[in-house]
Structure 1
């Protein structure tokens, strides 16, 4: 088996270090917010010297923006199903599945985003005004096409998107509340599947993309 070249080994080490730092930062920012988090605390959680953090991320703001960008890019990838789907049942259904899985696997990233926005987006306002606005307008166009084709009820696409975000991200942002109401236990695999199926049924029937029972 050929050995990895020195440059590839260095690149791999860098990727591993950055992933470790970002995972720790996501947790610390979710728990302490941007103001309460420190580079030293993030280094401690990552199990790395503070100097290593500054080598990869010179400032706390740069690290924070990368954490926010990561969760946003994951959300954007989940939305690819809109462009590829034939209609709302497939597109919105798959989007709900994807967003629920993100809430399950990346709860801290979702909490960081929610906290930032609730505080007026002091660090990522440019994201909201550019990337998020462009993405939202693109999905509105798709939903309006489905409405014009008679595939769903004539509703305001913007409020549908708000509802989708609020519902799916609730399972991350209010995970502690859900666990408490679930007998102080995380949702099981079967419960996550049931949650996804119920959300899809409620929303898709509500917008006329599924026949009523």
Structure 2
């Protein structure tokens, strides 16, 4: 892909994230995305073929980092380190991909009608892997026994809320925009609560 084409592709994708987050799949029009980026409507189709493919690319822009976030579960034998890295990564995703995160959240809240089957399968495989790893750690006495599914649900909710419900957080904190320190504070608190709730000590670096 040429530099100009790659740049236009990224610009369109970024605008699509905003539009899909604001209006949902059904309410988003390609012409509105084209106006955002000052490109003719046919150019959007040139890069993404159709609305369905553009929406999939938006979902992939958040799914790829979500899938990569669980790497610590496979790289570490210490659950405290793995969970802490996972939490910090998930918070960073909310900070760096707020609009795409909203698109994903809206998709799930509506029963995932447009979520491609292969993406759904990857997410399920990730959950199965994380659950198995948590059970393995619990069986080995490395952490207190908790329900692994509900632990994951809690982590998803507590980290993704900083993207999906940012308006509420900004309203409560009185900030026009959250900064890096806010996200770091959130990650540190979630780590402390999670690890202590699982009978774990905070890693030295946390």
TM range (shorter): over 0.9
SS at match of 2:144: coil
User: In the alignment, does 2:134 pair up with 1:143?
Assistant: yes
Tell me the TM-score normalised to structure 1 length. 0.90
* Count of matched residue pairs: 202
Deviations 1:148-189 (A, max 9, x none): 121111112111111110110000000000000011432233
Deviations 1:60-94 (A, max 9, x none): 11100111012001111121111112211100100
Q: CA deviation at 1:125?
A: 5.5
Tell me the TM-score normalised to structure 2 length. 0.93
Task: Quote the residue 1:104 is aligned against.
Answer: 95
Task: Quote the residue 1:5 is aligned against.
Answer: none
Q: CA deviation at 1:30?
A: 0.4
Task: Quote the residue 1:3 is aligned against.
Answer: none
Task: Quote the residue 1:42 is aligned against.
Answer: 33
Structure 1 CA distance, aligned partners of 2:179 and 2:63? 26
Q: How do residues 7-86 of structure 1 correspond to structure 2 at under 5 angstroms?
A: 11-86=2-77
Q: Which runs of 5+ in 2 are unaligned?
A: none
Structure 2 CA distance, aligned partners of 1:125 and 1:57? 16
Structure 1 CA distance, aligned partners of 2:82 and 2:141? 15
Task: Quote the residue 1:155 is aligned against.
Answer: 146
Structure 1 CA distance, aligned partners of 2:130 and 2:180? 30
Identify the range of structure 1 (194-203 vs 180-189) with the bigger mean alpha-carbon deviation: 180-189
Structure 1 CA distance, aligned partners of 2:116 and 2:44? 25
Match of 1:134 among 109, 125, 139: 125
Task: Quote the residue 1:174 is aligned against.
Answer: 165
Structure 2 CA distance, aligned partners of 1:188 and 1:73? 24
Identify the range of structure 1 (22-31 vs 156-165) with the bigger mean alpha-carbon deviation: 156-165
- Larger Rg computed on CA atoms: 1
Structure 2 CA distance, aligned partners of 1:46 and 1:157? 43
Match of 1:87 among 64, 67, 78: 78
